[in-house]
Structure 1
Amino acid sequence: MNEPKRFSWAKFPESIGWRDHAVGAALFVAYVIWLLITARSLGFPRDESFYFHAGQSYARWFDQLVAHPKAAMERGAIDGAWGYNHEHPSLMKSLFGISWLVLHQKWKIIADASTAFRLPGMATGGLSLWVTYLFGARVYSRRAGLMAAVLLALMPHIFFHAHLACFDMPIAAMWILSVYVYYRSVQEKTLGWALAAGIVYGLTLETKHNAWILPAVFVPHTLVVYGRAFFGDKGEKREKLRLPMELISIAIVGPFVFYALWPWLWSDTANRIREYVEFHVHHEYYNIEYLGKNYFGPPSPPSYAPVMILATVPSITLLLFGLGAGERLAALWKRLREKLLGTSDEPDLLLLLAFAAPLAVFFLPKTPIFGGTKHWMPAYPLLAIFAGRGFDLVADALGRAVSALPGALAKRQRELTWALGALCIAAPLAITVHSHPFGLSAYVPLVGGTAGGADLGLNRQFWGFTTQSVAPYLQANAPRGASVFIHDTTGDAWARMLDEGRMRRDLRATWSPGDAMFSLVQHELHMNEVDHQIWVVYGSTAPAYVLTHDGVPIVSVYRRK
């Protein structure tokens, strides 16, 4: 943990500084550009269509706030604008809407409204890489931080969700940022960093309800770090005892930021907070397939999260994670046995808690699993940091082995480290590129890829986003004005596809196979009954077209004879 914090190929100072932020910014820009380039090929999930609508509503209120502030602050104006989709906090939907209003409507910089809506979510994908690099570089080494950021970017499910105007990538980014700023506040022990910890936690609360879990990370870590001050000998106590300002700020400033940024809460506050909490505590269940069984309620299988992580995160990333996390867990255990725990800022403990907390709830029998991997995505930046540490261990072992060799090969440590890094990212890169735009269908080669995941009975997709992928077939085969049963796709998502020319504008959506010339089926286990309905209505069991990914049916298109 005291390795030189410099790249072997560049002269960086020992301390983390502006050069490291330049590296983080470069990762941010490169990832956002990649997401922008690939965004148009990805259709619109159900949830996105709701958040597009909410973003427009909120943006118009901000527009009114600038033009007529007194009228905008009246309760009727606030409730009218912010009442839609008030089940979720407002931060990301506000950013979606402002991006749409400014970059698409007013300045016309971005041609597609959907891309303008999606840009803030993409930016959080870039932010997650930036902070992951900084955290890994500060705690372990710059090499570990860089590898961690790249491996995080090259997780197929991360790449899929990073495109969307949803909350799953944003909460992953805000989770790692909140943990990082808290850690810096513990290190620096200043009022400024403590206030920053509270503000960032408030923004995390305002992003998604996963933030409720973060105190389970901060409080145990604070107790360990400050424990020796309270329970050590008197001399040690006089030297170290101080109030945990960062925890106090998180408890006070955080909720204030949460309240201040969500106008829906400004009236009837207690009842609306109660409604928000109860919505998520008693969230309805949706269908999800797992190992060939359809789950539509508790109990949830405790193996779900481990199996899905094993099946969706590139195996080399998990192998490096195992090495890194195992080594740091052993070091933490050693510190505990030697009674040294709490004599430092304990980064290993913090990272392990921040990794475990988002996953722990999925071992509870009543936790809904319908969102799949997206619900524990806040754990993935931490997983990547430990993978970066694992790469450090392997690279150091390679360096020691090479240095013992005779001749010129012993002087090639830098080149061999680069080659090792390239080998470690090659497979995740190939898997991630190949997964698009069917990221939710993608499974790693360890389980047989997409086909293996289907054979195991793992979920193939949800949200109806794959409708856009059959646009070429409908373009070539549907008569003008043809009606299409769009199955699991929402009307707003369909309208967005038509508006942006992603689907032929003359095609008409219907909500029943009996009213349609063409009928789509997005393949999920619980959707099998839709096939049967179409067979009865159309008098045929043969689809006219089947969209596949690696031979696995994703969408079937039936045509009425």
Structure 2
Amino acid sequence: MSAAAFVLAASRINHGLIDSRLPAGPGLTLDESFNVGQGVYLAEAIGRHGPMILTPTVAKEVFAARDYLSDHPPVGRILLGMAHQMTAWLIGGADGCSINITAARTGSCFAFAVLIFLVFEFCRRHFDQPTATAAAVALIFMPQFIGHARLATLETSTVLAWSAAVLAFASWWTGTTPPTNRQAIFCGALWGGLMLTKMQGILLPPLIAGWSLYHLRIRAIRPLLLWTLSGLFVAFVCWPWLWLDPMEHIRQYLGRASDRQTLYVWYLGERFADKLVPWHFPFVMTLITVPVYALLSLVMRAMNRQMQTIEWFLLAATLWPLIVFALPGTPVYDGTRLFLCIMPSLAILAARGFALSIRRIREARLHPETVPVGRWLPACLLITVIALAKTTADRSWLSPYAINEYNDLVGRGRGAWRLGMESCYWSDSLNGDFWKHIAEDTTIFVAPVSHQFQLNAIESLVPVVARKNIHLVPFEYDSQRQRGPLLLLHRLADLRRSLREVPPSAELLIEVQYDGVVLARLIDTTHAEWDELPE
């Protein structure tokens, strides 16, 4: 299953290579240039210094350098950097670019494969083989989930680290006896690994403490203390940047969530600042992006026998991040990206519902007098199988634009667009299939531009763009001075309403659509009829 997961993810990682046999994948997304650049920097430092990177002198040389960015912990980026160093020689077509984004994306594919193995083994040991198989299949065919596994970002490695910490805890802290000292320390070390991957690690302690005190009462004190100390020790020791000025750097890191630039969200036809998004956003986004087969399987689990203690914890681990991001003032943006960590536990619960339903129907056939089923369970199971078959057949999970997928509950992408949902939040629509239609030495105005390095990253890190010497310029909404090719990225939270349709007398040159929804559009405004662009 893991090998299949890696192959399916890695089959769509080409962001714009030159003369590559790899099918087109998602275009360069907003965070990849930072993550891969830092990953390569750290991987090269580890290659030069080895274990000595954890000594004060070398740590200062590496982590106090101007080239180092401390905006995220190092582990996820190191994975991307090592993948880049190991596979860049194998993946050609990036000549002239300082880093090979496609090669770095194999790091996320590897993390995805390890995650599938982890989920499969957890389910096989605690439940049964059918549940393990169903959980792995459920995750692999989640379009948004596998779509993120094709990007050189921190999301997939974060989900892997979160799942390792959560599933280890579920294995040893849900029984009638408390975990041993060794088990508590090991679980804490996994939490430390999560803290070294991304800031989502700070969401875990309230869940762990609350469950432990509720389930084990006073017996939870000792293992909780060991869990906490172990996690903090691992996180501090393995991130040398914290050593350089412990109190100040910890304050800086924890304060970044509130001090950073405001991002905007397009939700239900309105534009919200990230801290003012309605509380129901995470629940609604989960409901309309998780495939229907998984949602139906969850319904079957809810109606099919009493849940085990380990399942109750997995349910808590699924709901807790959603609750946190629903709290007033909590920043949330970019669809399901920030709470993607719930998908493995959700898939396990869904797989449990699917496997138990099949077992119950079989038992009812053998013992119809003692095992009543009713009509709803076979009907629901049949619809679930049909929904899974439809998802696998429509190949949405293979699309280069899979992170923009919505489920059949809302009519997929077109239905979600009618409801006022975001079309494309990460510029992944600008892949090689788009750039191959652009002539050499073309200057293109671009709107909206999400950050100051976005266009330069595309020019220098997308090989086909660099080869064609395409020049990208921010559109400053000066309709008289800036006439000509205009690239409109349909991140609706930032794209002005007046630019969501082709202006009168403007010529449509290229349009990228997915499921009937425009993701990006290149128009020629030379003869467009506009005097000004309204807000």
TM bucket by the smaller chain? 0.7 to 0.9
For the structure 1 residues 548 and 109, does the alpha-carbon distance in structure 2 shift closer, same or farther, using more than 3 Å as the test? Answer: closer
Q: TM-score, normalised by structure 2?
A: 0.82
Tell me if 1:250 matches 2:253.
no
1:378-457 matches, cutoff 5 A: 378-403=341-366, 423=386, 425-431=388-394, 433=396, 436-457=399-420
Would the aligned equivalents of 2:122 and 2:132 in 1 still touch at CA under 8 Å? yes
For the structure 1 residues 389 and 544, does the alpha-carbon distance in structure 2 shift closer, same or farther, using more than 3 Å as the test? Answer: same
Deviations 1:127-178 (A, max 9, x none): 2222222222333322112201210121111011111121222222211210
Tell me if 1:78 matches 2:76.
no
* Among candidates 169, 188, 200, match of residue 198 of structure 1: 188
For the structure 1 residues 380 and 87, does the alpha-carbon distance in structure 2 shift closer, same or farther, using more than 3 Å as the test? Answer: same
Give the SS at the match of 2:508. coil
Report how far residue 497 of structure 1 moved. 4.7
Report how far residue 424 of structure 1 moved. 5.7
Which residue in 2 is equivalent to 1:24? none
Q: Match of 1:376, as an amino acid?
A: F
Distance 1:117 1:434 in 2: 20
Distance 2:220 2:298 in 1: 35
Task: Choose between structure 1 and 2: higher helix proportion.
Answer: 1
* Among candidates 33, 38, 42, match of residue 7 of structure 2: 33
Would the aligned equivalents of 1:298 and 1:365 in 2 still touch at CA under 8 Å? yes
Would the aligned equivalents of 1:58 and 1:82 in 2 still touch at CA under 8 Å? no
For the structure 1 residues 476 and 437, does the alpha-carbon distance in structure 2 shift closer, same or farther, using more than 3 Å as the test? Answer: closer
1:157-196 matches, cutoff 5 A: 157-186=144-173, 189-196=179-186
Would the aligned equivalents of 2:459 and 2:465 in 1 still touch at CA under 8 Å? no
Deviations 1:454-496 (A, max 9, x none): 111101111222122553xx53452x31112244471353135
Distance 1:498 1:331 in 2: 49
1:458-497 matches, cutoff 5 A: 458-468=421-431, 471=434, 475-476=436-437, 478=439, 480-487=440-447, 488=449, 490-497=454-461
* Among candidates 282, 295, 303, match of residue 272 of structure 2: 295
Distance 1:278 1:542 in 2: 46
For the structure 1 residues 136 and 43, does the alpha-carbon distance in structure 2 shift closer, same or farther, using more than 3 Å as the test? Answer: same
Would the aligned equivalents of 1:287 and 1:296 in 2 still touch at CA under 8 Å? yes
Q: Match of 2:312, as an amino acid?
A: L
* Among candidates 513, 530, 535, match of residue 548 of structure 1: 513
Give the SS at the match of 1:465. coil
Would the aligned equivalents of 2:396 and 2:405 in 1 still touch at CA under 8 Å? no
* Among candidates 290, 293, 306, match of residue 316 of structure 1: 293
For the structure 1 residues 493 and 160, does the alpha-carbon distance in structure 2 shift closer, same or farther, using more than 3 Å as the test? Answer: farther
Distance 2:523 2:2 in 1: 43
Would the aligned equivalents of 1:546 and 1:556 in 2 still touch at CA under 8 Å? yes
Q: Match of 1:549, as an amino acid?
A: Y
Identity of aligned residues (%): 23
Q: Match of 1:109, as an amino acid?
A: L
Report how far residue 439 of structure 1 moved. 2.0
Would the aligned equivalents of 2:140 and 2:146 in 1 still touch at CA under 8 Å? yes
Q: Match of 1:65, as an amino acid?
A: H
Would the aligned equivalents of 1:135 and 1:145 in 2 still touch at CA under 8 Å? yes
Distance 2:268 2:497 in 1: 21
Distance 1:155 1:534 in 2: 31
* Among candidates 460, 469, 475, match of residue 512 of structure 1: 475
Deviations 1:183-218 (A, max 9, x none): 334469444433321221110111111111112222
Which residue in 1 is equivalent to 2:376? none
For the structure 1 residues 331 and 477, does the alpha-carbon distance in structure 2 shift closer, same or farther, using more than 3 Å as the test? Answer: closer
* Among candidates 88, 96, 113, match of residue 80 of structure 2: 96
Deviations 1:292-341 (A, max 9, x none): 1111244321221222122111112101112224557x547xxxxxxxxx
Would the aligned equivalents of 1:542 and 1:558 in 2 still touch at CA under 8 Å? yes
Would the aligned equivalents of 2:143 and 2:405 in 1 still touch at CA under 8 Å? yes
Q: Considering only CA atoms, is the larger Rg found in Structure 1 or Structure 2?
A: 1
Deviations 1:506-556 (A, max 9, x none): 3222223756742210113244438659989xx844422322222221111
1:326-405 matches, cutoff 5 A: 327=304, 330-331=306-307, 346-403=309-366
Would the aligned equivalents of 2:104 and 2:152 in 1 still touch at CA under 8 Å? yes
Q: Match of 1:79, as an amino acid?
A: A
Structural RMSD (CA): 3.1
Tell me if 1:153 matches 2:140.
yes
Q: Match of 1:384, as an amino acid?
A: A
Deviations 1:10-59 (A, max 9, x none): xxxxxxxxxxxxxxxxx222111111111112111011111122112223
Tell me if 1:263 matches 2:224.
no
Would the aligned equivalents of 2:144 and 2:403 in 1 still touch at CA under 8 Å? yes
* Among candidates 87, 90, 103, match of residue 109 of structure 1: 90
Q: TM-score, normalised by structure 1?
A: 0.79
Which residue in 2 is equivalent to 1:44? 28
Would the aligned equivalents of 1:217 and 1:357 in 2 still touch at CA under 8 Å? yes
Gaps of 5+ in 1: 1-26, 231-240, 333-345, 406-417
For the structure 1 residues 470 and 510, does the alpha-carbon distance in structure 2 shift closer, same or farther, using more than 3 Å as the test? Answer: farther
Give the SS at the match of 2:486. strand
Q: Match of 2:522, as an amino acid?
A: V
User: 57-66 vs 116-125, which deviates more?
Assistant: 57-66
Distance 2:341 2:59 in 1: 37
